[in-house]
Amino acid sequence: MTATTARSAAPSQAPAKAPASATRPETASILRDALGRDAIIPGDAGFESGRMAHNLVYDRRPAAIVRPTGALEVARAVLTARELGLDIAVRGGGHSLAGLSTTDGGLLIDLSAMRDVEIDPVRWTGTAQGGATAGEYTTAAARHGFATPFGDTGSVGIGGLTLGGGIGWLARKHGMTIDSLLSIDLVTADGELRTVSEASDPDLFWAIRGGGGNFGIATRFKFRLHPVSMVLGGMLALPLSERVLLDVVDASMAAPDELTQISMIMNLPPMPFVPAEFHGVPAVVMMPVYAGDLEAGQAALAPFRSIAKPIADMVGPMPYPAMYQLSAQAEAPSAEVIRSSFLSGLDLDAAEALVDHHRSPEGRATMTQLRVLGGAMGRVPADATAFAHRGSPVMAAVLAAVPTTREEAESRAQGLLDRISGNATGVYSNFLGEEGQARVHDAYPRATYERLVAVKRRVDPENVFHANQNIKP
């Protein structure tokens, strides 16, 4: 393992939580003196827009924002925050559902200036800085006929996505994002720069594949590439009913590994390809990707088209990055609450609860997402990475908009999840809201959590990186 220290000695007694003085106005001036022009403080151009998370539920004001251009600058920011006793928040794409990509009174390290992507089509590898987005990387890889599995939204940062696991449209064919991770450059709490891989530090490499941002700030990733060019993808809208929901899940489980699909139960938008009589009507909106022979893909989609007469069928051959354009509605910042869980399946009671909710007035401000997993993702041993829910066949997520109060949205989302998750088997850390430490334990089975704690004690014993779904040392 190679390592470079950004400073000869880290502070020996850095507090894990910012003291009361850290939120005083003079803190911003101190940060300006320490970080120079790199620090954006209240009153500077760009501060107001830069402090906001993608989830507008969280309206927080950091003491300063810094946008480093390289790993050494990240290390300097970390050490400066420690010297001042400031909380550290890290932003890649800013999509943290729990608002963890901003902070009140702390230092926000925004990686948006670190977005270089390099594709090596000879060695089948891709590297990207920590601020790159899934869309940017995917577009670059597609020019050479390759892809790395990411999620389903182009503006999501690859940093948070990868560290939490990464579940997207290629999960059944090529696994999770962490299954293609080869190495990572990490700035740790003591300001050290480490290149972490299976060979250099197997325990830390295990932990960062699903353990989130608990162990440092990722400044560069190296991934394995997979041949992916034209896919069969798009959108298929089916009428909402209990039978349709059950059949969609069953057909997804029976589909070949080349087919991964994400279903949304939502009101249909007034788009040109949706007949006018269905505008605003709740439906099952499937977004499939078949990564393989296109003729075989049409055969794999046939069972879904036969479930019910489609309201709209926009599935066809397309370049893989075009799927991100179809999900562009998720790019706009919004105020919402999420509650999610892994399920062992979908039964009739759960299907009835989903239909009842989405046909009610409350359902107009709710979207439920169902992802059928398995395939390559499920064949990796559960203890191979810190993400351990490999055997869970279904993931459900309820996203409730906040048109009135956050409490009302939380009640609505949790109420529906409770009705459909009687057979819950855990939760995906990237789909956790601000739900407390008990839910963090739900993300990691006991043996996994204890192993994560051991790595945390070694790498970040003072819990400097705690603005995350926190593993407490």
Q: Please enumerate in sequence order all residues whose Cβ is within 8 A of that of 91, keeping only pairs 6 or more positions apart, or say none.
A: 53, 101, 102, 108, 109, 110, 111, 112, 157
Sequence letter at residue 401: A
Q: How far apart are the C-alpha atoms of 231 and 284, rounded to whole Å?
A: 22
| Burial state string for 68-105 with b = 16 or more CB within 10 A and e = fewer than 16 | beebbbbbbbbbbbbebbbbbbbbbbbbbbbbbbbbbb
Q: What average pLDDT is seen over the chain?
A: 92
The domain ranges of the chain are 3-110, 117-228+445-459, 230-434
Q: What is the DSSP letter of 462?
A: T
- Report the C-alpha gap between 183 and 47 in whole angstroms: 33
Q: Are 239 and 359 in contact (CB under 8 A)?
A: no
Fold of the domain spanning 117-228+445-459 = 3.30.465
Q: In this predicted structure, what is the pLDDT of residue 428? A: 97
State how far the Cα of 251 lies from the Cα of 241, in Å rounded to an integer: 15
> In the chain, how many H helices and how many E strands?
15, 21
Does domain 230-434 bear CATH number 3.30.70.1560?
no
- pLDDT value of position 425: 81
Which H or E run contains 266? Answer: strand 259-267
The yes or no reply on domain 3-110 and CATH 3.30.930.10 is: no
Q: What is the pLDDT of residues 298-354, one digit of tens each?
A: 999 999 999 999 999 999 999 999 999 887 766 788 899 999 999 999 999 999 999
Q: Which residue has the higher pLDDT, 155 or 32?
A: 155
- Residue 330: the pLDDT is 61
The string of pLDDT tens digits covering residues 383-433 is: 999 999 999 999 999 999 998 789 999 999 999 999 998 867 899 999 999
Check residue 329 and give its pLDDT.
62
Instruction: Extract the tokens encoding 401.
Output: 């908009």
pLDDT at 28: 80
Is there a contact between 176 and 166 (Cβ–Cβ < 8 Å)? yes
Residue 364 DSSP class: G
In 114-157, where does DSSP find H-type helix?
Answer: 134-142
Q: Is 218 exposed, middle or buried (0-12, 13-18, 19+ CB in 10 A)?
A: buried
Residue that has been written with the tokens 């998750």 in this structure: 421
Which residues, in sequence order, are bridge partners of residue 339? Answer: 398
| Phi and psi at residue 117, to the nearest 5° | -130, 135
SS3 labels along 189-213: CCCEEEEEECCCCHHHHHHHCCCHH
Structure tokens at 242: 């209990």
* Burial class for 43, CB neighbours closer than 10 Å (0-12, 13-18, 19+): exposed
Q: Which two tokens stand for residue 51?
A: 């402090």
Q: What angle do CA 281, 400, 138 make, to 5 degrees?
A: 90
In tens, the pLDDT along 419-464 reads 998 867 899 999 999 999 999 999 999 999 999 999 999 999 999 9
